[in-house]
Amino acid sequence: MCGIIGFTGTSQAADILINGLQSLEYRGYDSAGIALVQDDQTKVIKTTGKVAELRDKVAATEGTHGTCGIGHTRWATHGGVTTVNAHPHQTPKVTLIHNGIIENYKEVAADLAKKGYTPVSETDTEIAALLIDSLYEGDPFDALKKADDILEGAYGFCVMFKDRPGTIYCMRNASPLVATHTEDGSYIGSDVVALIPYSKDYFVVPEHHIVVLEKDAITLYTMDEKEVEPKMLHVDWDTTAAQKGGYDYFMQKEIYDQPEAVANTIMPRIHNGKVDFSADHISDDLFKDINRVIITACGTAMHAGLVGRSIIESLIRIPVTVEIASEFRYMNPIMDEHTLVIVITQSGETADSLAALRLANERGAKTMSIVNVKGSSIARESDYVLYTHAGPEIAVASTKAFTVQCCGMYLITMKLAEINGILNDEEIASYLDKFVEATKTIGPVLEMDEYIKTIAYKIKDTYSAFYLGRGLDYAVACEGSLKLKEISYVNSEAYNAGELKHGTISLVTEGVPIIAVATQDHIFSKTVANVEEVKARGAHVIFITDEDVSGYDGLYDDLIQVPKTDDFFAGFGVTVAMQLLAYHTTVYRGYNVDQPRNLAKSVTVE
C-alpha cells in the first residue's frame, strides 16, 4: 500500500527512483512522483496514473539531475486521485513521502490552521509534512521525535529538509521501511524488491527509530539520537525473481513459479520421514498442550487458513476456527496459553493481521506465523515463524503465496500429528510421501494451460459465476472465486455446494458458469447431486475433479481432470487450474491482470 524509495549517493537519482517505483508499483498505482535535490532547490515531478506515465513526464522535463531524491507510488486513501494529492508533498522547509494513514490528521490540521498553516491537497500526508515543517527549528531529530509523539496511525516517512541537502531522514510506525548502503550510496524502500538490484543485504528500520541516509553512510538512531547497530538480513532472491522473465504478466509467471516455490518450501523441512523445523528454530513445545487453534488472516491467506482448518480438524481432532483478521480484534476472542494462534500472510505487513497477532500475544496465546517476506513485522512479532519460500510475489492477485501457505499448513498439521501421537512414525512418513506426490500434480496441470484457456474463452463474457465445493474443496473454491473476481471483475461467489439451494440458486440462469470442485471420495456423490441441480437450471458447468467421471457425461459442459492424489492433499492441482482459468478469462476481457483496479498488494492500513 504505497511504494516508497529514496536514494542519496554518487549516481543520478532519477533513474534509480523511477526503476524502484516500477518494482514497487504493485503497492499502489493511482499516482506517482519524485523529488530531486538540485543545488538550492528541490524539484518535484508528479502525475496521476502509473509509473510509466511518470517516467514519460520525467523524460520530457528539463533538468532532472540530482544525486539525492525520494519517490512514491500512491494507493489513494485520503483525497482523490489528483496530481496535487500525489506525493511528494512539499512545504517551505520539507519535502516528504508517506506510506500509511494518519488517523488524527483532522485534529492535527485544526491545530496547524490556528498557526496559519493551510494545506493545498486533501491528504493526511500533507498535514504530516506541515506538522514537521512547523516543528522544525534546525534539528531534524527534534522535529521528527515531536511529530512521532503527535501523530497517530501508520506511517513510513522519508523526509528531506531544505537546509540539509543530500540527506534523507526516515522513520516509521507500522508501515514497513527497509534500507541498505552500498559503495554507490544509501537506499531506502518500502519493500526489499526495490533494493535487490543494488544489494541483497539490508535491514528493517525498527519502529520509532530514525534512519539517516547520506552519500557515505547510513546510520540508525533511536528517537533520542543514540546510534544503534542495524540488524542485517540477507535475501536470496535475485533481480530476475522480481522480473517477468518472458511471461506476459507477473501473475502468469508466478503461477508457473509454483512447482519450485512449493519444493523450496517443503523439501528442506522433510527429513527421514518427518517434518523437521529445527532450522526454523520452531520448538516442539509449541505443538504440545494445545486445545484449540485459531487461524487468522485476510483474503487469500485466509483461504489457506480454511484449508488448514479442514485438515487439522479432520486429522488432529482439535477445534479450529478461521477468523478474518479485520474482525478478530473487535470480537473479544477467547484465548489462553493452550490456544495456538496461526497468522498467515504473504507480506507480513497486513495491518489487520498484525493487529490480530498483537492481540493474541497480549492475551497469552502461543503464536506462530506463516510468512513470505523475511524480517517483516508479523514475522518479527510472532513467537515462531515458518517462512514460505515463494520468492517475491509482484502480481496483486496472490497465486504462489497461496500454495506455499497451504504447504505450511500441511507441515504444521503433520507436526501436530507427530507431537500429539495422532500418527505413528510409519504413518507420518506415508502421509509425507503422499503430500510430496500431491504437490507434484501442479506440473501436469500447468501443461493443461492451453486447454483451460479454451474454457476461459467460453466464459469470458459472463457477468457472474459461482464456485462450489464441500469440505476441503470448498476452501480451495473460495480461493478460485476470489482469483476470478478480483482480476476479471466477474461477479463471482463461492458456496458450500449444499448451501446453494437455500437462496443463491435463484441466481443460476441459462449459461451462468458454475465451477464445481469435487475431489473428496466420501462426499463426491453429494457434490455431484448439487451439480445436477444447477445443470438442470441451464448452468454452464465446469467440473474440476481428480475422480474417474466415466458415466457422468451429462453432468458438465467442460471437464478439468486433474491428476489423482490422496484426498487429504487434493487441493494443489485444482487450485492451479482455477488460477489459470481466472488468468485467461481476465486476459480475454482485456484487463490488466497484474494491477486490478482499486487494489494494492500490501494492505498496511486498517
Q: In the complex, what is the shortest distance from the CB of residue 306 to ligand F6R, in angstroms, rounded to a whole number? A: 12
If the CB atoms of residues 170 and 482 are measured against ligand F6R, the closer one turns out to be 482
Quick check: is 406 catalytic?
no
Q: How far apart are the first and last CA of the chain?
A: 11
Q: In the complex, what is the shortest distance from the CB of residue 399 to ligand F6R, in angstroms, rounded to a whole number? A: 8
Cβ neighbourhood burial of 110 (10 Å; 0-12, 13-18, 19+): exposed
Closest residue to ligand F6R, based on beta-carbon distance: 299
| Side chain identity at residue 18, one-letter code | I
Q: In the complex, what is the shortest distance from the CB of residue 297 to ligand F6R, in angstroms, rounded to a whole number? A: 6
Q: In the complex, what is the shortest distance from the CB of residue 373 to ligand F6R, in angstroms, rounded to a whole number? A: 8
83 in Cβ contact with 31 (< 8 Å): yes
Alpha-carbon distance of 24 to 15, in angstroms, equals 14
Alpha-carbon distance of 528 to 295, in angstroms, equals 30
Q: In the complex, what is the shortest distance from the CB of residue 458 to ligand F6R, in angstroms, rounded to a whole number? A: 24
Alpha-carbon distance of 194 to 179, in angstroms, equals 10
Q: Which residues bind ligand F6R (CB under 6 A)?
A: 298-301, 345-347, 350, 353, 397-398, 482, 486, 602-603
Quick check: is 2 catalytic?
yes
The CA-CA-CA angle for residues 497, 500, 503, to 5°, reads 165
Q: In the complex, what is the shortest distance from the CB of residue 438 to ligand F6R, in angstroms, rounded to a whole number? A: 22
Is the backbone of residue 535 left (phi > 0), alpha (psi -120 to 50) or beta? alpha
If the CB atoms of residues 347 and 481 are measured against ligand F6R, the closer one turns out to be 347
Phi, psi angle pair for 118, to nearest 5°:
-125, 120
503 in Cβ contact with 550 (< 8 Å): no
If the CB atoms of residues 129 and 442 are measured against ligand F6R, the closer one turns out to be 442
If the CB atoms of residues 299 and 513 are measured against ligand F6R, the closer one turns out to be 299
Q: Which of 2, 158, 170, 407 is catalytic?
A: 2
530 in Cβ contact with 480 (< 8 Å): no
Q: Which of 50, 57, 366, 601 is catalytic?
A: 601
Alpha-carbon distance of 89 to 73, in angstroms, equals 13
If the CB atoms of residues 247 and 524 are measured against ligand F6R, the closer one turns out to be 247
Phi, psi angle pair for 80, to nearest 5°:
-70, 180
Under DSSP, the state recorded for 522 is G
Under DSSP, the state recorded for 210 is E
Count of other CB atoms within 10 angstroms of residue 260? 14
If the CB atoms of residues 300 and 520 are measured against ligand F6R, the closer one turns out to be 300
**In 325-383, beta strands by DSSP E:** 339-345, 366-371
If the CB atoms of residues 396 and 442 are measured against ligand F6R, the closer one turns out to be 396
Q: In the complex, what is the shortest distance from the CB of residue 278 to ligand F6R, in angstroms, rounded to a whole number? A: 26
Phi, psi angle pair for 306, to nearest 5°:
-65, -40
Enumerate the active-site residues.
2, 601
